[in-house]
């Protein structure tokens, strides 16, 4: 049965106790073949097997395709309960095994394609995201004056909900600047890049329950923006963290809800201190939200706050950890410690992990991280990932050069980040922190206290 109204296509197949419905939504993503459920059978009494097909245009061949599978018991209440994943270069159907019950089960998938450059998060939780506009009446910098407004995104463990498109990695305003030397360098259509999706779903409710989750505060690279490591945020949120990232005043662009476009300035000439103050103000706001916010009240475990950051943002995260007693540990990606002289002089007497590139952006880059490690007396870890450049510590590399090497390097960064915060915020035993490992990418110059 085909319905033309609202561009929806319904395909219904009945076998035993299961009905399959495919719901198509209009899309500008250039799907070469609509997503659909092509077959269904019962390999045994415990499960139902679905076969799914569909694909994307050739421009997305280097990337992946997300197949969100919704289920329902009554065709009224739907929720995405499985997110299937396909490498676009691999042909053939996708098989999904669903539990069989005595009740009629209904399944559907959107027919439009969902291209992404990022691997599927490995944790048990679906990932939700929301963005908020924050403003401080007391904060004042010499750069932008008082009462500055700025955007904040939260990534969190989410409850299954009815289908809606995942979050785009880039807001449309970024399109004209993506292929500057500071962002993307591999020539391709900007429309391809701006149509790439994340694994975070906007507006989902926080996962049911009363438990609270550790909080990680992220600081972006100078001249970048709060979404420059969105894959890492999604991975951490899928494992039960709430990641909070703000557009610092040096962000390339920040797009406010009323349509205002804000451009930033660099973290030089003492500007790093402004970004530390930004993130301290952000934690103040989280404390207020934890009391009265309709969505997040009681869900932040503010006794377990970590900081992480990339490049200049890594120095900001380290200094935030040094200065704010609420922050217990930090993970610092190829951090530009030259921007934070007090951190370099005084050291960091809290648990921290420095992961650095082997090809330095400028001479002495890794030496500054090693000096910070040498000042520590305990709970410090430093290593480099062989063959990496500065850009490998931003997820944008997976959009620019989506190759096996970059995926392996990113996986090492993600795995050690999660293990480090698990150990120092949750108190778990993490064998990964005891010795270097390899997944095709190789760790070198391992040092631990």
Q: What is the pLDDT of residues 166-205, one digit of tens each?
A: 999 987 777 777 777 678 888 888 888 889 999 999 999 9
**Higher local confidence (pLDDT), 144 or 196:** 196
Per-residue confidence (pLDDT) for residue 45, from 0 to 100: 75
- Give percent above pLDDT 70 in the chain: 87
80: Cβ contacts below 8 Å, ≥ 6 apart? 68, 69, 70, 126, 160, 161, 162, 163, 201
Per-residue confidence (pLDDT) for residue 392, from 0 to 100: 94
Q: In this structure, what token pair is assigned to residue 40?
A: 């269904």
Q: What are the DSSP calls for 284-336, one per residue? A: HHHHHHHHH-TTTTTTEEEEEEEEEEETHHHHHHHHHHHH-TTEEEEEEES--
Q: What is the pLDDT of residues 360-374, one digit of tens each?
A: 988 889 999 999 999
Q: What is the mean pLDDT of the chain?
A: 85
Per-residue confidence (pLDDT) for residue 313, from 0 to 100: 94
Q: What is the pLDDT of residues 47-78, one digit of tens each?
A: 888 888 888 888 888 999 999 988 888 888 89
Half-sphere exposure of 447 (CA within 13 A, CB side): 20
Asked if the model's pLDDT at residue 144 lies above 80, the reply is no
**Higher local confidence (pLDDT), 188 or 410:** 410
Q: In this structure, what token pair is assigned to residue 44?
A: 């045994």
Per-residue confidence (pLDDT) for residue 264, from 0 to 100: 64
Per-residue confidence (pLDDT) for residue 247, from 0 to 100: 87
Name the pLDDT band for 25 (thresholds 50, 70, 90): very low
151: Cβ contacts below 8 Å, ≥ 6 apart? 131, 132, 133, 134, 226, 246, 247, 254, 255, 256
Per-residue confidence (pLDDT) for residue 101, from 0 to 100: 65
Name the pLDDT band for 164 (thresholds 50, 70, 90): confident
Per-residue b/e over 8-38, b at no fewer than 16 CB within 10 Å?
ebebeeeeeebbbbbbbeebebbbeebbbbe
Distance CA 361, CA 338 (A): 12
Q: Say if strands 261-262 and 254-255 run parallel, antiparallel, or are unpaired.
A: antiparallel
**Higher local confidence (pLDDT), 32 or 108:** 108
- Give percent above pLDDT 90 in the chain: 53
180: Cβ contacts below 8 Å, ≥ 6 apart? none
Asked if the model's pLDDT at residue 239 lies above 90, the reply is yes
Q: In this structure, what token pair is assigned to residue 50?
A: 């679905």
Q: What is the pLDDT of residues 87-119, one digit of tens each?
A: 877 767 788 877 776 555 788 988 888 999 999
Name the least confident of 79-88, 143-152, 270-279: 143-152
Q: What is the pLDDT of residues 261-297, one digit of tens each?
A: 776 655 554 556 678 888 999 999 999 999 999 999 9
Residues 306, 313: contact at Cβ < 8 Å?
Answer: no
Per-residue confidence (pLDDT) for residue 14, from 0 to 100: 34
Asked if the model's pLDDT at residue 28 lies above 50, the reply is no
Asked if the model's pLDDT at residue 443 lies above 80, the reply is yes
Residues 144, 249: contact at Cβ < 8 Å?
Answer: yes
DSSP assigned state of 249: T
DSSP assigned state of 406: H
Name the pLDDT band for 12 (thresholds 50, 70, 90): very low
Entry pTM: 0.90
Asked if the model's pLDDT at residue 2 lies above 70, the reply is no
353: Cβ contacts below 8 Å, ≥ 6 apart? 330, 331, 332, 380, 381, 382, 416, 417, 420
Q: What is the pLDDT of residues 322-361, one digit of tens each?
A: 999 999 999 999 999 988 889 999 999 999 999 999 999 8
The CA–CA distances, whole Å, from 372 to 48, 80, 339, 344, 367 equal: 55, 45, 14, 6, 9
Distance of CA 88 to the CA centre of its chain: 21
Per-residue confidence (pLDDT) for residue 56, from 0 to 100: 86
Asked if the model's pLDDT at residue 416 lies above 80, the reply is yes
């Amino acid at each position: 049965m085909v319905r033309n109204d609202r561009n929806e296509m319904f395909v219904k197949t009945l076998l035993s106790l299961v009905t399959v419905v495919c719901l198509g939504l209009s899309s500008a993503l250039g799907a070469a073949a609509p997503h659909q459920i092509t077959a269904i059978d019962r390999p045994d009494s415990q499960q139902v097997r679905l076969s799914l097909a569909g694909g994307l245009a050739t421009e997305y061949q280097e990337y992946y395709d997300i197949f969100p599978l919704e289920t329902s018991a009554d065709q009224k209440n739907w929720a995405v309960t499985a997110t299937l994943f396909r490498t676009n270069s691999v042909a053939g159907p996708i098989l999904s095994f669903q539990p069989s019950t005595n009740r009629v089960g209904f399944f559907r998938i959107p027919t439009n394609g969902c291209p992404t450059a990022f691997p599927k998060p490995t944790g048990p939780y679906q990932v939700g995201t929301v963005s908020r506009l924050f403003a401080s009446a007391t904060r004042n910098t010499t750069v932008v004056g008082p009462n500055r407004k700025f955007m904040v995104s939260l990534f969190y463990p989410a409850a299954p909900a009815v289908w809606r498109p995942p979050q785009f990695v880039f807001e449309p305003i970024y399109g004209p600047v993506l292929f500057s030397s500071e962002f993307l360098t591999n020539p391709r259509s900007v429309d391809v890049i701006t149509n790439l999706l994340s694994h975070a779903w906007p507006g989902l409710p926080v996962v049911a329950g009363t438990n609270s989750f550790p909080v990680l505060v992220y600081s972006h690279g100078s001249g970048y923006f709060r979404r420059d490591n969105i894959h890492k945020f999604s991975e951490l949120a899928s494992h039960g963290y709430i990641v909070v990232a703000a557009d610092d005043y040096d962000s390339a662009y920040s797009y406010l809800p009323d349509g205002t476009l804000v451009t930033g300035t660099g973290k030089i000439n003492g500007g790093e201190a402004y970004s530390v103050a930004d993130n301290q103000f952000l934690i103040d706001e989280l404390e207020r939200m934890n009391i009265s916010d309709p969505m997040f009240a009681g869900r932040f475990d503010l006794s377990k706050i970590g900081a992480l950051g990339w490049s200049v943002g890594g120095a900001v995260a380290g200094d935030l950890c040094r200065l704010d007693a609420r922050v217990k540990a930090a993970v610092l990606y190829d951090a530009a410690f030259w921007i934070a002289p007090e951190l370099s002089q005084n050291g960091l007497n809290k648990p921290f992990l420095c992961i650095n590139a082997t090809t330095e952006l400028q001479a002495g880059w890794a030496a500054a991280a090693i000096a910070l490690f040498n000042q520590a007396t305990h709970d410090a870890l430093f290593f480099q990932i062989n063959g990496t450049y500065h850009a490998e510590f931003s997820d944008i590399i997976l959009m620019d050069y989506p190759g096996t090497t970059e995926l392996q390097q990113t996986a090492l960064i993600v795995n050690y980040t999660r293990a480090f915060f698990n150990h120092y915020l949750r108190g778990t035993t993490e064998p990964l922190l005891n010795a270097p490992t390899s997944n095709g990418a190789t760790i070198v110059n391992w040092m631990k206290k």
